[in-house]
Chain A
């Protein structure tokens, strides 16, 4: 049973615009949330994270929002750049284990 869900398998956005990636989770024991970026045939690289005690964390062009009551997480990328084209995974931690969503493929159009 998938505890972390990314319901949009793909997202296409114009360069310079905002990309919004969404993630829903079911396990209320998750205490830490992360976003990873992945290129084909490579390992994921860490982007940004947020603790369950916060509702927002910002790092440059990347902002993660957490709505605990809705069990919803989102990643905003502003402005989107061609190098942002990749697969983005949402992950959530429960004690020892990181659970991942299925990923959203982002394509940034020139």
Chain B
């Protein structure tokens, strides 16, 4: 079955540590995205990537970094510079950039908690 896999489902981080969230898709989608969800707020865009080896900052990129070395993979690193990292993180992909009438497919999410 095609889809997006995020791992781990739950992640605990000590303050000052960097952690990396995994996102893998086998949908052959070109574009991939990272969103963050906080209680009472919508999904906010952290980073997105149109193609391999290219990515752009979204609305709340500070304290995060990404890489896109393979089409299937778009890992997100939450660095110690992110002041409030506790949140639910969602990875998504779309078949192509700027194509009409295509929805984003989402992974199951990673709940990150700073302890």
Contacts and interface: CB of A to CB of B under 8 A. Distances in A.
A43 B33 contact: no
Contacts, number: 65
B28 to A, nearest CB: 18
Interface stretch (B14-22, B66-74, B76-84, B94-102): B94-102
Interface string B87-115: 01010100001101101111111010000
B42 A97 contact: no
B87 to A, nearest CB: 13
Chain A contact patch, size range: 20 to 34
B111 A102 contact: no
A44 B103 CA distance: 11
Contacts of A42: 108-109
Interface residues of B, number: 31
Interface string B1-31: 0001010010000000000000000000001
Nearest to A53: B100
Interface of A: 2, 4, 6, 9, 31-32, 34, 36, 41-46, 49, 51, 89, 91, 95-103
B98 A95 contact: yes
B109 A41 contact: yes
Contacts of B107: 43
A41 B9 CA distance: 9
A4 B98 contact: no
A37 B105 CA distance: 12
Contact of A49 (B6, B43, B103): B103
